[in-house]
Structure 1
Amino acid sequence: MSSTNSDPAATFESHRRRLLGLGYRMLGSMADAEDAVQETYLRWHAADRGKVSDPRAFLMSITTRICLDILTSARARHEEYVGPWLPEPVLDTAALLPDRRTELAEDLSIALLLTLDRLSPLERAAFLLHDVFDFSFTEVASTLERSEAACRKLATRARTHVRTLRPRGTGAPPEPVGGIDAKHVRLISAFSAATQSGDLNALTQLLASDVRIVTDGGGKPAAALTNANRHGGGHEITGADRALRFLVGATRERLNPEWRKDVRFRFALVNGLPGVIVEAPEGPVQAAAFEIEGEVIRALYVVHNPDKLRHLVRALAVAGAG
C-alpha cells in the first residue's frame, strides 16, 4: 500500500510548504492562503486517493482552483478597498519557497507581489505554476482546464508583464541568516534619525529621486502613528520632493501629544527586504519594508491595516524565541 493511502496526513504535510507558498503568491494574503490550504486538506481527505498517481500535482491543482475562486471575491473587495492595497507582510520567506531555487522563485518582495496582482487570475496561475513551481504546461492545462496552447499564451503574457512592471533591483538580496545586512541597518537608522529631526538635506541624500512610498491602512482606525494611520486609508507618493513633504508631515504628527510612547521598533526582514516592525503591547501595529539600491531608498512600503498584521504575532514570537 502506498504512503498516499496509508498516511494521507503525512503525505499532505510533506507538501504544505509549497501549497502555502502558492496560495500566498496567488492571493497576497497569509490568512487567505492558510484558508485555501486548509480547504485543500479537507478535499484531500475526501478524495479517492487510490486514483491519485501524483499527490503533488493533485494538491497543487486543488489549491490553485481554490485560490482562483477566492480571487473572484477578492477582486470585488479590492475595488472597495480604502486607499492603496499592499500584500500582507511576511517574515519567514523560507517557509514559502518552492523546491526549485531561482531568483524568481525566491523573490517574495512586495514589488513582485504588486506586479502579480495586476495580472488576471488565470495569467497569475499559469505563470506561477510553470515559472515558479516548475509545472509542465500539460499539468498547467489540466489544472486550469484550458488547452496547453492557451496556457502558454497566459504564461507568456504574464511573463512579459512581470519583466516590464517589476522594478529593477527588487529581488530579495542575500541576507545574513536571522537578520538584516549591517549596511541596511545603518541606512534605515540614518533615515529614521533624519526623519525624526526633520533634516531635509540628509533625507534628500538617502532617497532616490524617483522614490516611491506606499502606505496601506485599509480604512481601519488604528493607533495614531502617522497621518496615514489617523485617516485610516493610505498614501501612494512618487518622487523625492513629495516624499520629503510627506515624511516631514508624518514626523510632526508623531511628535504631537497623541504619539504613542509604548511602542518599540524591531529590525526584521519583511518579504525578504530590510524592514522595521513597530510593536505595541497589543501586538504589531506597523510593518515597513525598504527597497534599497546601493546607498539610497528606492521604495518604502508601510502596512498598518491591523487585519494584515495579526499573523505577525506568531512570527514575531518564533523569531524572539530563536
Structure 2
Amino acid sequence: MLLAQAYETYRPRLFGLAYRMLGIAADAEDIVQDVFAHYMRMEAEGIRDEKAYLTKMTANRCINLLKSSRRRREVYTGPWLPEPMPDDKGISFSDPAERRENVGYAYLVLLQRLTPLERAIYILKESFGFEYGNIAEMLNRTEMSCRKTFSRAKAKVAADESKQILDESEGSAKKSFVEAFLRASDTGDFKPLTAFLLEDVTLITDGGGKVRAAINPILGIGRVLAFFESLTAKGTFKEGFETVLLQGGETGLALRREGRVAYVLCAEREPEGPRIRRLYMVVNPDKLTRFN
C-alpha cells in the first residue's frame, strides 16, 4: 500500500489506540506522526501485515512515553483526568471488522488506572480484537504472559464497573441530568439535582495547576451541590453552560468564558441505575483547546 494511502487508512485506528492509552490527543497525534515518519524511511517490502506492524509501533511508543512521563504525572497538581474530545474530532475506525465501541468518558478515566502494559494488551484485545498470539508478537511478550496481563486488567475494569458502552438508556440518563444541570446553573438552585445524583456522588476536577480547581475529590451530594452553588455565587457560571457532543456521541456540558471553553463537565452513571455516581470537570486550559 502506498504511504499516503496507508496514512489515510490507518491513521484513525492508530490515533484511537494512542488516545485511549495516553488520554491526551496532542500526544496521540505526535505518536502517530512519528510512527509514519519512521515507516516512511523503512523498506516496507518485508512487512507481511502492514496494519499489525503500524499498530505494534504505536502501542510500543505509547508504552515508552507513559513510562517516561510517569514522574510528571506523579507531581501533577490535583487529580489528572484525560483530555475530553469533541465528537467532530473523535475516534473512528476504517475497518468494518473492527469493534466499534461508543465508550464514555468514564471508560477513558478507568483506562488510565491500568499500568501501561495492561492498558496496551487490554485495548488491543478488547477494543481492536487482536488475538493473544498477535499481541505477544507486537509487544515482545509470551502469549501466556499476555493472557495473564489481560485477565488482570479485565478484573480491574470489572471491579470498577465503569466501562460504559453508551447505549440508549445510558444516553437518556445522562441527557436528563444535563438538562437538569442547565436549569440549575441558570437559576443558581442546584437542589433539584438531588433527584439525579447518588448520595455518595464524587466530583473530580482537573485544573493542572493552571487555574483554580479542587485539589482533592469532592465527596457526597451535599458538598458537591455546595461547590456548584459557591461557583454560581461568585459569578463563575454567569455566561451559562451549553450542551456539547463528546467523543462517541456522549452528551456533556461546556462553559465559555470570553468566548473560549473554560469548563467541560462529564457525568458517569451508576452501573445498575439511572443516577450519576461521578462527575468529571476539566478546567485545565491545555486539555480544552480542541473545543475552541
Give the TM-score, by structure 2 length: 0.88
Partner residue of 1:172? 166
Please say if 1:218 is aligned against 2:208: yes
Contact 2:181 2:190 in 1 (8 A): no
For the residue of structure 2 that corresponds to 1:218, the secondary structure is coil
Measure, in 1, the Cα distance between the counterparts of 2:80 and 2:107: 14
Q: Hey, what does 2:38 align to over in structure 1?
A: 43
Partner of 1:244: 225
> Does 2:70 match 1:75?
yes
1:77 match: secondary structure: helix
2:88 and 2:143 map into 1 onto residues whose CA distance is: 31
Change (3 A) 1:281 1:41: farther
Q: Which residue of 2 aligns with 1:266?
A: 242
Q: Distance in 2 between matches of 1:101 and 1:11?
A: 17
Letter of the 1:213 partner, please give it. Answer: L
How much has 1:312 moved relative to structure 2?
2.5
Q: Could you list the runs of 5+ residues in structure 2 that have no partner in the other structure? A: none
Q: What SS is found at the alignment partner of 1:47? A: coil
- CA-CA distance at 1:186 after TM superposition: 5.0
Whether the 8 Å contact between 2:47 and 2:53 is mirrored in structure 1 is yes
Q: 1:60 matched to which residue of 2?
A: 55
Structure 2: which amino acid aligns with 1:311? R
- Matching of residue 19 in structure 1 with residue 9 in structure 2: no
CA deviation profile, 1:125-151 (whole Å, cap 9, x unmatched): 111111211112111111111111111
Residues 158, 185 of structure 1: CA spacing in aligned structure 2 closer, same or farther, 3 A cutoff? closer
Matching of residue 302 in structure 1 with residue 289 in structure 2: no
Q: What's the offset of the Cα at 1:280? A: 3.6
Q: Which amino acid aligns with 1:173?
A: D
Segments of 4+ moved more than 6 angstroms: none
Q: Is the 8 A contact 1:218 1:233 kept in 2?
A: no
Shift of 1:306: 0.5
Please list the CA deviations of residues 158-202 of structure 1 after superposition, one character each: whole Å capped at 9, or x if unmatched.
Answer: 11111111337x322349xxxx86x75553232233355453542
Give the secondary structure class of the aligned counterpart of 2:129. coil
Do residues 205 (structure 1) and 217 (structure 2) align? Answer: no
> How do residues 176-191 of structure 1 correspond to structure 2 at under 5 angstroms?
184-191=174-181
User: In the alignment, is the contact (CA less than 8 A) between 1:216 and 1:235 conserved in 2?
Assistant: no
Percent of pairs with identical residues: 36
The alpha-carbon distance between structure 1 residues 109 and 295, as it changes in their structure 2 partners (threshold 3 A), is closer
Matches of 1:140 and 1:299 in 2, distance apart?
Answer: 33
| Structure 1 equivalent of residue 252 of structure 2 | 275
Cα distance in 1 for partners of 2:46, 2:90 equals 29
Q: Does the CA-based 8 Å contact 1:112-1:166 persist in structure 2?
A: no
Matches of 2:265 and 2:196, distance apart in 1: 16
Structure 1 portions without partners, runs of 5+:
222-230, 314-322
Number of aligned pairs? 286
- 8 Å contact from structure 2 (residues 15, 28) kept in 1: yes
**CA shift for structure 1 position 299:** 2.3
Structure 2 distance, partners of 1:149, 1:31, is 34
Cα offset for 1:26? 0.6
RMSD: 2.5
Q: Which residue of 2 aligns with 1:194?
A: 184
Change (3 A) 1:193 1:163: same
* 1:244-283 CA-partner distances (Å, limit 9, x unpaired): 22222222222xxxx486x463311224432112234453
Tell me if the contact between 1:271 and 1:289 (Cα under 8 Å) persists in the aligned partners.
no
Tell me the SS of whatever aligns to 1:203: helix
Letter in 2 for 1:299: R
Q: Which amino acid aligns with 1:55?
A: E
**Cα deviation, residue 205, structure 1:** 1.9
Structure 1 residue 117 corresponds to structure 2 residue 112: yes
Q: Which amino acid aligns with 1:207?
A: L
